[in-house]
Chains A and B, each alone.
Chain A
Amino acid sequence: MKRIKFISLFVIFTLVIVTSCVKDLDVKPIDSNVIVSENLMDREGAMIQALAKLYASFAVPGQDGVGGSGDISGIDNGFGVYTRALWMLQELTTDEALCAWNDQTIKDFHWHTWSPTDVFNAAMYSRIIYTVSICNEYVRNSAGSSDPDVIKYNAEARFLRALAYYHAIDMYGRSAFITEADLPGAFFPKETDRVSLFNYVEGELKAIENSLGEPRFEYGRADKAAAWMLLARLYLNAEVYLGAGNSKYAECIEYSTKVINAGYTLEPDYRMNFGADNHLSQEMIFAINYDGEFTRSYGGTTYIIHAATGDNMSAAALGIGSGWGGNRTTKEFVNILVDTLAYPPLATDTTFARVPDKRVYLWLLKSWEINNVGTFSDGIGVRKFTNMNHDGTPAVHPHNDFPCTDYPIFRLADTYLMRAEANLRLVGGDAGQALSDVNMVRGRAYGDASGNITAGQLSLDYILDERGRELYWEGVRRTDLIRYDKFTGGAYLWSWKGNVKEGKATESYRNLFPIPASEVGANPNIHQNDGY
């Protein structure tokens, strides 16, 4: 009897313990930094904070700023920042910049020798599609809301997705294609081609045009002008993206005009767009925001300012602690920026201070000629971006490493030059408007009309050079050179293009970057670009 009692007690005890313990396996995160997806909406401000992430995907590597918790992997956290990858692919491949470092395959960009296994290229591609995937999630979560704020947020998410896909159109010509209809999991996304993606982006931008906020409604947010500007850029390059004969210059003029009439004005001081207080610039249409305290990364303007500073250039003058001695420019580009026949480089004027064009922010290093790509002091230093306010005062949140300077994506001077170019390219375009647009930009650069040009001086090539002078190091050079067919091939050579000092012609298939080998390997739906 006693035995039975003992055994049954024991069995009951055991069952109770065991079942309660098995339930322990149902855990929920206890970390206050982690929210289970289904509880997301319980958090106050979740919608705007999740929206902030979509913007931050362009600015920082992940959730810990400079440190861990990166959004994408397989790449150094700094290299994987959207603005840094974008800048490298758009600038290091051109006459405007080359890098001295030994980081993996970084020199391949300037040499036009990159391959499908390039990790920087893979980071760009992954960052684009990653940004699309989190925008999709946001579009799903915010769909059907009647809250006017959320309707606006939803449109902004669609704008940012369109911007990311625009980069895929411009740099890859094809990509994985996912929309809010594709739930995350383990599947092989479909592939899309350049024309379909163009049509998709164009359709999206037009669809959200009226849902976005009015121009300049809140700094940092994408508004109607941002969408117009992106449409104008698509249209300006339509012949490149859609093939010869598919030009859309009239549409480019239409949308640039909308931007120009939206209340922006060129800042009298050009530097106002590239300093720590550039968020106050009256010509900034859309920028990626950085801050010395709250938005830190080793991409964006941190990278641009530090990498450009080295040798005997003063870091303190740019509001940073030190330079990284990486990027500088070529003599070919300086010959565009400065009339070097009139103002030859002089040891007594290392910054070309005597040049009347106030857009010249250069620094003469040891050698005008680039004898060794790996030597920073071979080449000409660029000091356009700074972590000082435009008037030379320190930033609001000064930090030796992390600038407050925002990364400009679209600004008004670009709009004027786009409209001018479209007018010149459009059969029956308004050449008078083109000239006045160009002189608008030059007038600000010279502070008066002394730099203005005449109708006879204006040509398409002149506009390409003027875009270089106005927009150098702002991440548009590669796209511009391709539109002029000067990026690959032998029409325009610069130092070390093609991996020879004098420069040589390169293969035209390099007008597109390769789809990363890892993507082609992981997704059987994705094909490689021709030539690679």
Chain B
Amino acid sequence: MVKHLSTKTLLLLAILFWGSMSAFAQTGQVTGTVTDAGDGTTLPGASVVVKGTVTGTVTDINGKYSISVSPNATLVFSFVGYESQEVLVQPNTVVNVPLQMQSTALSELVVIGYGVQKKGDATGSVSVIGSKDFNQGAITTPQQLLAGKSAGVVITSSSGAPGSGSTIRIRGGSSMSASNDPLIVVDGVPLDNVGISGMSNPLSVVNPNDIETFTVLKDASATAIYGSRASNGVIMITTKKGKAGSKLKLSYNGYLSMGVAPKFVDVLSGDEFRQLASDKFGTNNIDSAGLARLGTANTDWQSEIYRSAISQDHNISATGSYKTMPYRFSYGYTNEQGILENTDMKRNSLTLNLNPTFLNDDLKVNINAKGSFSKNNFGNDGAVGSAVRFDPTQPVMNGNSRYAGYYTWTMDGTPNGEYNQMATSNPVAQIDLTDNQSKVNRYIANGQFDYRLPFLPDLHANLNLAIDQYSSSGHNNADTTAMWTRRAGFGQLIDYNQEGYTKTLDFTLNYKKDLDAIKSKIEVMGGYSWQHFYRKGDNYQRSIVNESHPLIVADSSNYATENFLVSFFGRINYSLMDRYLVTFTLRDDGSSRFSEDNRWGLFPSVALAWKLKNESFFKDVDALYDLKLRLGWGQTGQQNINNGDYPYMGTYRISQPSAYYQFGGTWYPTLRPNAYDPNIKWETTTTQNIGIDFSFLEDRVSGSFDLYNRVTDDLINFIPIPNGSNFSNYLTTNVGSLENNGYEIALNFKPISNKEVVWDFGFNLSYNQNEITKLTRTDDPNYMGVATGGISGGTGNNIQIQSVGYPTNSFFVLQQVYGSNGMPLEGLYVDLSGQGGNVAGNLANFYHYKKPAADYMMGINTRLDYRNWDFALSGRVSIGNYVYNNVASQTFYGNLYNNSFWQNMTSQIENTEFNNAQYFSDLYVENASFFKMDYMSAGYSFDKLITEKLSGRVSFTVQNAFTITKYKGLDPEVDGGIDNNFYPRARIFLLGLNVDF
């Protein structure tokens, strides 16, 4: 309260100060009415500010205002939803101002690489998602704001764990072994896209509440300016900023939420399990000794490990202008509980933005600083799978003294016997005895200096200096009573640390000239960029051999690595008669990851746009509001090869202490020559894009359509090579090609738009097909491909494959044979090769069946504003995505009782009745197409509550409201397409409050 008062006092003093200053001049009143230029109605509550000051007023209920000004003052009139207008005024006059409705987004500036552009002048495929369109709900990471909102952008959260990250794919992936993540640029700072240990989501440095817009650059003509890192698209995040001349505005935004597990895996109860066990007596290794080990309890292990998770999030921001320096400061606090016991994430974040101007506005400075300080408690998500499998007839605790009382499978069946290390761990013990926490600090700071040369005002020089730094430290410990640690020793102590930074220097020169004589506008930009990425880390693991043996080093490792990128780039935008637009970009990228001969990659792009609406034949068609045709071609590069920073260099690696070798009485570290490709070079993606932007009926219906083709050549690929040709059987080298074809439709409707009711409806659809077109040097048609996609069950089993002629990560399975009753016949598969013998043991009988990526993705969202009420829905449809149900494939009777312990079954056993593992049956590859209602929300906005200035909104949201799918597992949305008991995504009920004053 004291703080609040003092802020107000300061504000008052500031106003008095400015007031007394102006008193020296000959001041006088200006009065007038602010109206809507369209229908002439008056606009109450419009703001009137003397430019360059904080002096201002608002129009009254009749749209009238009165303000004291000095001679030759400029008044700025603004109102939400209208274009601002500046008027030069003299004291003691009447000035009536009609304001134009902001009817279109065409004149909005969009952030593009190294600059801004009017959206209407964009030649590439660019989509902008503003804060109004963001997803609502308990959002703790930036990616969540964007899911389903932009055509061609697929965002899949990896799990429901607190603060967990998401996989972002723009127009499918264009790489195989190399990274498929888009480049993310935050306020002009390209982030290093590297996993940080102890931080499940590298993007969580950005508080979602601070984000103003996302700009997604999809085609090469838009992304090529980022050349080397843009093959998978670019997402540019712009955070909120202060505005010149604005008053201090304080804002609070927060929520309280409760998350629950939407459903549990359907497993047998204790009674059902006992029944099944006795039914199966005499088969599957089940004998009377086994039956004697069954318990009498009815434990629902899943409800033992999940909880109703209460989370909260609070954000305060202050926006305004100190003298002529606009500022924004915000503080955010997040405390997110996971639905799995003993998991949570706490985060404090601070941001500061200053954007002053100097030297008569010639020098514009933009300073951003962001800090995020998070504490993660990862707990033990191994309990998710254990709870599905653990014998429901056993109690949680059995009073033993050896394993902290938690029921534990022992070799001899006695409570304190030797731990049976083949057995499932007690999920509750996994939760309670694990201490798995990390602290991560990350800072991003940058300063952008834009200088307009006084002697050549058309030329701007822009310097951007940035540093992105992080440090993390964590531990993953388990008590010595933890049964699952007994395999390697007693207890577990793991410490890890990681730190790193990215330093960026960008310098650009920008020249802009209107050549009225030839009805042309030209903009030329040239620049230089330097980036240094550095990372280092260590890991130290130890355990106790047995009760009497001291701690010994089990494993330790450390690493340090760095790489550099240096680039020269340029762009020319040319516009003729505001109808024909041409953009040409060129980037020359140097990466330290390649040898001197292959270091530089040249990435050009060209794009044409035709503003059809401005042609004479469309000019007078009133129904047609905007029509623009776009054509683009460009190349981008990839050097983020996921295999070290020195792939072209012959190196030796020293072994860690667990891989020493003994001669006589001495253990020697060993030196290994590493495989390397001295000729490794850039992977290149060529994109072609045809797009059309349209808008009808005063922008009531607007949208765009894009058709694209992306071909990646010289794929950086980790693939088998001829044995003996290098120092391994696999090598990261440039082999192969990959193609993505697809289209995107984005549509926005505004069926109703008047003062009382505004109804918006948004729809986007994207279709993408991906195919590997080349994979080996020899082009051997018999070459099967590279196995990938490890599953749980057995060791080393893979369910997916990369093969020529098929999409990446296609499932590679055996075709199940079914009996006349529709039940699968165990172990019987179609002999596709015709080679006979053991069909299941011959890979020649495996076939490509479906893939995890969806054919069609749709985003549907709508928002209805009625007076002070607002209602919103947002959902996603995914069609043609398949999931390997690894939970079901581990359900077979042979797993009931094995190695002297019992395991529960999911109810899917009824669909197969299998006795033995049949991991490769195609029946486990299930259609996981879905519709998900991501959120439903209702809000009520209020203003002038208690005081004039207090306004805000209360809202209620249900997030992850429901899912419609045929998929038999828990959740059809599975990152990577292999469902093996991942941390479930919660259904969240949320109460939100937003207050501005």
Q: Residues of B contacting A519 with CB < 8 Å?
A: 720, 722-723
Bound-complex Cα distance A55 to B894 (A):
40
Are B487 and A129 neighbours in the complex by a CB distance under 8 Å? no
* Residue of A whose beta carbon sits closest to that of B846: A117
* Residue of B whose beta carbon sits closest to that of A20: B530
Closest CB-CB distance, A143 to chain B, in whole Å? Answer: 15
Please choose the segment from A58-66, A258-266, A416-424, A440-448 that sits at the chain B interface, where 4 or more of its residues have CB less than 8 A away. A58-66
Closest CB-CB distance, B789 to chain A, in whole Å? Answer: 13
Bound-complex Cα distance A105 to B843 (A):
9
Are A33 and B558 neighbours in the complex by a CB distance under 8 Å? yes
Are A186 and B721 neighbours in the complex by a CB distance under 8 Å? yes
Closest CB-CB distance, B722 to chain A, in whole Å? Answer: 4
B760 at the interface (CB under 8 A from A): no
* Residue of B whose beta carbon sits closest to that of A54: B670
Are A220 and B663 neighbours in the complex by a CB distance under 8 Å? yes
Are B729 and A176 neighbours in the complex by a CB distance under 8 Å? no
Are B726 and A185 neighbours in the complex by a CB distance under 8 Å? yes
A427 at the interface (CB under 8 A from B): no
Q: Residues of B contacting A72 with CB < 8 Å?
A: 728-730
B370 at the interface (CB under 8 A from A): no
Closest CB-CB distance, B656 to chain A, in whole Å? Answer: 5
Are A522 and B721 neighbours in the complex by a CB distance under 8 Å? yes
Closest CB-CB distance, B459 to chain A, in whole Å? Answer: 11
Q: A22-B566, A64-B655, A377-B285 are in contact. Are A31 and B559 (CB under 8 A)?
A: yes
Q: Residues of A contacting B720 with CB < 8 Å?
A: 74, 518-519, 521-522
A90 at the interface (CB under 8 A from B): no
Are A294 and B667 neighbours in the complex by a CB distance under 8 Å? yes
Are B661 and A295 neighbours in the complex by a CB distance under 8 Å? yes
Are B659 and A113 neighbours in the complex by a CB distance under 8 Å? no
Are B838 and A178 neighbours in the complex by a CB distance under 8 Å? no
Bound-complex Cα distance A400 to B659 (A):
17
Q: A31-B561, A325-B422 are in contact. Are A64 and B656 (CB under 8 A)?
A: yes
Q: A29-B649, A30-B560, A36-B649 are in contact. Are A71 and B658 (CB under 8 A)?
A: no
Q: Residues of A contacting B670 with CB < 8 Å?
A: 49-50, 52-53, 56, 63
A432 at the interface (CB under 8 A from B): no
A111 contact from B422, B667, B838, Cβ within 8 A:
B838
Please choose the segment from B50-58, B126-134, B436-444, B672-680 that sits at the chain A interface, where 4 or more of its residues have CB less than 8 A away. B672-680
Q: Residues of A contacting B796 with CB < 8 Å?
A: 75-76, 79, 103-104, 119
Interface positions, chain A 276-325, Cβ under 8 Å from B, are: 279, 289, 291, 293-297, 310-312, 315-316, 321-325
Interface positions, chain B 871-926, Cβ under 8 Å from A, are: 894, 898-900, 916-917, 919
B552 at the interface (CB under 8 A from A): yes
Please choose the segment from B400-408, B622-630, B779-787 that sits at the chain A interface, where 4 or more of its residues have CB less than 8 A away. B779-787
Q: Residues of A contacting B784 with CB < 8 Å?
A: 117, 517-518, 521
* Residue of B whose beta carbon sits closest to that of A325: B899
Q: Residues of B contacting A219 with CB < 8 Å?
A: 662-664
Interface positions, chain B 502-557, Cβ under 8 Å from A, are: 505, 507, 528, 530, 532, 545-546, 549, 552-553, 555, 557
* Residue of A whose beta carbon sits closest to that of B528: A18
A401 contact from B285, B488, B726, Cβ within 8 A:
B488
Bound-complex Cα distance A106 to B596 (A):
46
The total of chain B residues at the interface (CB under 8 A) is 109
Q: Residues of A contacting B730 with CB < 8 Å?
A: 72-74
B658 contact from A132, A187, A294, Cβ within 8 A:
A294
A457 at the interface (CB under 8 A from B): no
Bound-complex Cα distance A79 to B488 (A):
19
A3 at the interface (CB under 8 A from B): yes
A137 at the interface (CB under 8 A from B): yes
B9 at the interface (CB under 8 A from A): no
Bound-complex Cα distance A478 to B777 (A):
36
B727 contact from A22, A137, A321, A324, Cβ within 8 A:
A137
B866 at the interface (CB under 8 A from A): no
Are A220 and B722 neighbours in the complex by a CB distance under 8 Å? no
Q: A34-B653, A103-B794 are in contact. Are A374 and B669 (CB under 8 A)?
A: no
B654 at the interface (CB under 8 A from A): yes
A294 contact from B657, B664, B898, Cβ within 8 A:
B657
Closest CB-CB distance, B924 to chain A, in whole Å? Answer: 14
* Residue of B whose beta carbon sits closest to that of A296: B658
Q: Residues of B contacting A62 with CB < 8 Å?
A: 655, 659, 672
B726 contact from A74, A115, A186, Cβ within 8 A:
A186
B119 at the interface (CB under 8 A from A): no
* Residue of B whose beta carbon sits closest to that of A398: B545
Interface positions, chain B 557-612, Cβ under 8 Å from A, are: 557-564, 566, 590-592, 596, 599
Q: Residues of A contacting B557 with CB < 8 Å?
A: 64, 67
A523 at the interface (CB under 8 A from B): yes
B421 contact from A293, A294, A321, Cβ within 8 A:
A321
Q: A22-B590, A34-B652 are in contact. Are A129 and B723 (CB under 8 A)?
A: yes
Closest CB-CB distance, A103 to chain B, in whole Å? Answer: 4
* Residue of B whose beta carbon sits closest to that of A64: B656
B659 contact from A56, A104, A187, A324, Cβ within 8 A:
A56
Are A52 and B669 neighbours in the complex by a CB distance under 8 Å? yes
B805 at the interface (CB under 8 A from A): no
Q: Residues of A contacting B282 with CB < 8 Å?
A: none
Are B488 and A29 neighbours in the complex by a CB distance under 8 Å? no
Q: Mark B262-301, 1 if CB is under 8 A from A, else 0.
A: 0000000000000000000000010100000000000000
Interface positions, chain B 315-343, Cβ under 8 Å from A, are: none
Interface positions, chain B 710-764, Cβ under 8 Å from A, are: 718, 720-730, 733
A188 at the interface (CB under 8 A from B): yes
B820 at the interface (CB under 8 A from A): no
- Report whether over half of chain A's contact residues are helix, strand or loop; otherwise say mixed: loop
The total of chain A residues at the interface (CB under 8 A) is 124
Q: Residues of A contacting B590 with CB < 8 Å?
A: 22, 25
Interface positions, chain B 624-653, Cβ under 8 Å from A, are: 645-646, 649-653
Q: A31-B559, A101-B795, A322-B487 are in contact. Are A117 and B843 (CB under 8 A)?
A: yes
B418 at the interface (CB under 8 A from A): yes
Bound-complex Cα distance A35 to B726 (A):
18
B671 at the interface (CB under 8 A from A): yes
B104 at the interface (CB under 8 A from A): no
Are B723 and A74 neighbours in the complex by a CB distance under 8 Å? no
B486 at the interface (CB under 8 A from A): yes
Are B654 and A35 neighbours in the complex by a CB distance under 8 Å? yes
Are B561 and A133 neighbours in the complex by a CB distance under 8 Å? no
Q: A49-B671, A102-B794 are in contact. Are A73 and B729 (CB under 8 A)?
A: yes
Closest CB-CB distance, B804 to chain A, in whole Å? Answer: 11
* Residue of A whose beta carbon sits closest to that of B663: A220
Q: Which of A291, A399, A525 has the most CB of B within 10 A?
A: A399
A173 at the interface (CB under 8 A from B): no
Are A296 and B659 neighbours in the complex by a CB distance under 8 Å? yes
Q: Mark A105-119, 1 if CB is under 8 A from B, else 0.
A: 111100101110111
Closest CB-CB distance, B461 to chain A, in whole Å? Answer: 8
Are A189 and B724 neighbours in the complex by a CB distance under 8 Å? yes
Bound-complex Cα distance A322 to B797 (A):
23
Q: Mark A31-45, 1 if CB is under 8 A from B, else 0.
A: 111111110100101
B489 at the interface (CB under 8 A from A): yes
Q: Residues of B contacting A289 with CB < 8 Å?
A: 661-662
Across the A-B interface, give the 8 residue pairs with the lowest CB-CB distance, nearest first: A65-B658, A322-B421, A117-B843, A76-B796, A523-B722, A37-B650, A113-B838, A73-B730
Can you sample 14 A-B contacts with CB below 8 Å? A24-B592, A33-B559, A35-B654, A37-B650, A50-B670, A102-B917, A103-B795, A105-B843, A114-B841, A294-B661, A325-B422, A521-B782, A522-B721, A523-B723
Which B residues contact A (CB, under 8 angstroms)? 285, 287, 411, 418-422, 455, 486-489, 505, 507, 528, 530, 532, 545-546, 549, 552-553, 555, 557-564, 566, 590-592, 596, 599, 645-646, 649-664, 667-673, 675-679, 718, 720-730, 733, 776-778, 780, 782-784, 786-787, 793-797, 835, 837-838, 841-844, 894, 898-900, 916-917, 919
Query: Told that A72-B728, A310-B422 touch, could you supply 6 new A-B pairs with CB distance under 8 A?
Result: A17-B505, A35-B651, A50-B672, A312-B900, A521-B778, A522-B720
